[in-house]
Amino acid sequence: MALPPTIPTSFVPHSATAPRQFRADYSGAFGFFAYTILGIAFLLTLGVFLYGRILAVDKVAKDGEIAKAQADIDPQTVENFVRLRDRLTASQTLLEKHVAFSGFFSAFEKAMPATVRFTTLHLSFDAINTPLVEGAGVARSFNALAAASEAFAADGRIKDAIFSKMVVNSKDNSVSFILSATLDPRLIVFSP
């Protein structure tokens, strides 16, 4: 059977006369970049591995030092330190609750005029633990009591000061009185 005359029996490609376009080949640069990153990653991995070994050796040395230090601890010394800590804690608790009237006496001395003296002075606490002061005394004049009242008001730590049962002595015009007042709790708290 014979082939139709329109179908060629062989094929020869035609030569291209069109100019070739230049194409950049980046596969070499990409390979170089990839190997550089691989090398850096390898060096970092090696650095982490070596640093881990250094830390492991250091940990073993520190564990040995701790074991030696624990073996050197004297149980009696530890007991003494614990006992001292407990005593200091108990002392701190006692001092925080300790009542010290020295602050009151200092404030009272500064507020009272020199012409007022007390024959009795009683310090106590009421039902809600508010400090109270009650006393009896003699002042040279009413002006001295007024000055004391103004000094208490200006100070503010001796509150609600009431001078009562005032009696004037006919011989020297002195005034006997009874004082009652409440105190600021901070005025009687111990402070070193």
- Written as one string, the DSSP assignment of 81-147 is HHHHHHHHHHHHHHHHH-B-THHHHHHHHHHS-TTEEEEEEEEEE-TT--EEEEEEEEESSHHHHHH
> Which tokens hold the place of 87?
């005593």
**pLDDT on residue 22:** 62
Residues with Cβ within 8 Å of residue 65, at least 6 apart in sequence: none
Of 118, 114, 127, 132, nearest to 187 by C-alpha is: 132
Q: Cα Rg for the chain, rounded, in angstroms?
A: 50
User: What does the pLDDT read at residue 105?
Assistant: 83
Q: Which domains does the chain have, with CATH numbers?
A: 102-188 (3.30.70.2830)
Q: End-to-end distance of the chain based on CA atoms, in angstroms?
A: 130
Please tell me the predicted confidence (pLDDT) of residue 64: 92
pLDDT in tens, the chain (192 residues): 555 666 666 666 666 565 666 666 677 788 889 999 999 999 999 999 999 999 999 999 999 999 998 888 888 988 999 999 999 999 888 877 777 777 788 888 888 888 888 889 888 888 887 888 898 988 888 888 888 888 888 877 888 888 888 888 888 878 888 888 888 877 777 666
Closest CA to 107 of 168, 43, 154, 166: 154
Cα(10)–Cα(25) distance, rounded to whole angstroms?
Answer: 36
